[in-house]
Structure 1
Amino acid sequence: QSIMMGGLIKKGSNNVESKIPLLGDIPGVGWLFKYGKKSNAKTELLVMITPYVIESDDVLAQYIKKFQEKTQGLRQGLGVKGSTAALSGKTDKPVPPGE
């Protein structure tokens, strides 16, 4: 059973105008040498939690491994460097914030 904790909605718009230099500035006929584009974007972030009862270290290790694989794939897709080694509890040094 998953629980939705909350979310954020971001809306944005972007206007872009391209024109041929000088010709696009001529009054009356400049519009023939211009191109305008308007785009709208809506982004929604939802925070959901799915609790699990973990009764053994073996099951915990499996969940940690799955989580690390998923986050590593996400990090590679986003081009973010870092490690999830701190989640396994097998690190000798602290992981700096943001990694």
Structure 2
Amino acid sequence: MLQQADGEVLAIDKQEIETQVEVKSGETLALGGIFSRKNKSGRDSVPLLGDIPWLGQLFRHDGKEDERRELVVFITPRLVATE
């Protein structure tokens, strides 16, 4: 949880990955393989009309949603010369 200055509390979804690699300055590294999947289903209907047996099917909609995501993070380190 994270609390803002105005007192609003935000939920933070945290996913972690840990690895050790060696790359040259300017080369890009891809960190990936964090998958998430969300399934939702629900019903929308016209009040009262959607509850009528047989006829109610004309006034309602049953929905299903399947969402899949993959998180890939690209990192390009660059060495900065100090003066």
Where structure 1 has 5 or more consecutive residues not aligned to the other structure, the ranges are 58-99
Normalised by the length of structure 2, the TM-score is: 0.54
Gaps of 5+ in 2: 1-26
- What are the Cα deviations for residues 46-91 of structure 1, in whole angstroms up to 9, with x where unaligned? 123212121125xxxxxxxxxxxxxxxxxxxxxxxxxxxxxxxxxx
* 3-state SS in 2 of match to 1:21: coil
Count residues with an aligned counterpart: 57
Q: Sequence identity, in percent?
A: 33
C-alpha RMSD of matched pairs (Å): 1.9
Structure having the higher helix fraction is: 1
1:44 counterpart (70, 73, 77): 70
Higher relative contact order, structure no. (Cα contacts within 8 Å, ≥ 6 residues apart):
2
Distance in 1 separating the partners of 2:81 and 2:47: 70
Larger strand fraction of residues? 2
TM-score by length of 1: 0.47
Runs of 4 or more above 4 Å deviation: none
Match for 1:34: what amino acid?
R
Number of the residue aligned with 1:53: 79
